[in-house]
Chain A
Amino acid sequence: MVLNIGCAARPGKAGDNKTGSWRVFKPVFNQELCKKCGLCALLCPEGCVTVNDEEEYIPDYDYCKGCGLCAEECPADGAIDMVQEEK
């Protein structure tokens, strides 16, 4: 994003704002422990967990704010770890 005078912006989509920079803890998905229930994708407030061609659930770190809901609600122990991120 460029700095427009007066912080002016043209109409856009929420997707233009990459909210991943807000994150302190990053969810790390361990695919071998995942039971494919899909709760993480369903509950993610950003809607940024999607399924790829290998049927793996993948968070989009460009938008994941690190709220930790997915890890908290995940029924498979250790499938999602919240890891502190150093920037």
Chain B
Amino acid sequence: MLKITEGSHAVAEAVKFCRPEVIAAYPITPQTHIVEALAEMVANCELDSEYICVESEFSALSACLGASAAGSRVYSATSSQGLALMFEVCFNVAGMRLPVVMSIANRSLGAPLSIWNDQQDSISLRDSGWMQVYAEDNQEATDLHFIAYKVAEDHDILLPAFVCFDGFILSHTYEPVDVPAQEEVDAYLPSFKPYQRLDAADPISMGMYATPDYYMEFRYEISRAMERAKEALKRAGREFDEEFGRDYSAPVEGYRLEDADTAIVALGSICGTVKDAIDEMRGSGRKVGLLKIRSFRPFPDKEILKALDDVSTVAVLDKNVSLGSGAGGALGLEVKDALYGSGIEVKDYITGLGGRDVRKRDIANITDLAESGKGDMYYGLREEVL
């Protein structure tokens, strides 16, 4: 049933229906509303879950790590500096192959202090072994949680997952969202069956010491699981479509791309703006399309190459910057890698950092720049303050 609700509350409700047995989180803007709503559900006995109040994000994810290792389905949520504080634990969770799911309400990283949106926080953890999926709207942000748990807990995958949705732009926005019923979610997402767990009667240790003779092989195993996750995400997205009628089977999604000469590639909520800008540009006869990237980790390089096969120019929008790489954001660098040798011109645009609005006219301007061969730059700099 469609319901007008705030993004964070829709996510909290989705998480409730996933029946996490342990939740540990620390409030941080713009994620706070999610865990506040979950705390209320636990206090009101609407959700039977152990809610652990912790003193920091490091502890939040550490508690989740322990609880997951003990065999519970666990949940956390964070943003920005909170995720930065979890950095070490993120690598440990992935290395121990614990299927933790965490919502990231994307926010820029300080300094300078900024509570506003970009995607630097989750992007900075792209090498950690967590899957990363990005939502365009609140419906997708909600639905991706069910899919994330299903794939993460698959014994053939066993990798944790970030469900990323843009802070404020989605988290604090009211939109109609169809949150499924508990029975429907139960049918899609069975209860958690741990691959292995801490048990005093049959003790194991996890994340043990690996000498140089073994460490590389463990990292390789994570790479292989990430590779298998590509298919698992498609499968889980297809099954979701069968159950709920919304199709998330593709890791990339084209919009008016069939006959496009120029393609814009983007992650997250900006895709909505891009679609509107494309409709306007199409109205004036320009052949522009969008390729939305839903899954950033695993990175769908082959699907991107296939989807962009017929375009001549690609403009990548990056709400992050890999400082020191020239004017390159993580998405731009990887799209260039995916299209290497194809002859397609790829330009990257750093945009929307720290909550800077990106409007339809900006998308049109970026399209102009890309088509005239100008790019690999920060777009929208205020020259007067430099």
Contact = CB atoms under 8 A, between A and B. Distances in A.
Closest 10 CB pairs of A and B: A6-B97, A6-B96, A9-B208, A8-B206, A7-B208, A8-B204, A6-B206, A5-B97, A9-B205, A7-B207
A6 B98 contact: yes
Sorting the interface of chain B by its residue count into under 10, 10 to 19, 20 to 34 or 35 or more gives: 20 to 34
A8 B205 contact: yes
Contact of A7 (B158, B195, B203, B210): B210
Interface in A1-35: 1, 3, 5-11, 17, 19, 21-22
A5 B222 CA distance: 9
A6 B214 contact: no
A48 B329 CA distance: 53
A22 B209 CA distance: 14
Interface of A: 1, 3, 5-11, 17, 19, 21-22
B268 interface: no
Interface in B171-225: 195-196, 203-214, 217-218, 221
Contacts of B221: 3, 5
A19 B206 CA distance: 20
A19 B209 CA distance: 12
B95 A21 contact: no
A4 to B, nearest CB: 8
A22 B97 CA distance: 27
9 contacts: A3-B217, A5-B195, A6-B97, A6-B158, A7-B218, A9-B204, A10-B204, A11-B203, A17-B209
